[in-house]
Amino acid sequence: MYSQTTIRVLGGLLSAYYLSEDKVFLDKAVDLADRLMFAFVAPLGLPLASVDLKSRKAIPDHGNPGVLSTAEAATLQLEFRYLSHLTDNITYWRTSEKVSPWTFNR
């Protein structure tokens, strides 16, 4: 699941970078985030349920195509905002903020 990868893997890489300051963790976080960004293909900017990390293609929920838990979408913001902060790349921030109706991206 997309949100679980973001929370556990991307969050873990960012935490490892924070604690160690070893750039390898930041580089891996950027690579993973770039692959995860392909989930944000829905018209409203909400991410689809899964991403094939190798092919970089978004995959809708197999059981409920077109359905996305708002809790799943909203939990992505912490990791993507922090990655934007670390890399000075606003794209991560703006993309994850699209799930919020009150954001400056609308």
Q: For the full predicted model, state whether its pTM sits above 0.85.
A: no
From first to last of its 106 residues, the chain has per-residue pLDDT tens of 556 777 788 899 999 999 999 999 999 999 999 988 887 776 666 777 677 788 878 777 777 666 666 666 667 788 889 999 999 999 999 888 876 654 444 4
Total of domains in the chain: 1
**Domain hosting residue 58, numbered range:** 2-97
d(CA 17, CA 8): 14
Residue 105 lies in a domain: no
Sorted by sequence, the CB contacts under 8 Å of residue 44 that are 6+ apart come out as: 98
pLDDT in tens, 13-35: 999 999 999 999 999 999 999 98
In a domain, 11, yes or no: yes
Q: At what angle do helices 11-20 and 23-36 cross, to 10 degrees?
A: 160
Q: Is residue 75 part of a domain?
A: yes
Q: How far apart are CA 88 and CA 4, in angstroms?
A: 24
**Rounded Cα distance, 52 and 22, in Å:** 27
With beta carbons less than 8 A apart as the criterion, state whether 67 and 41 touch: no
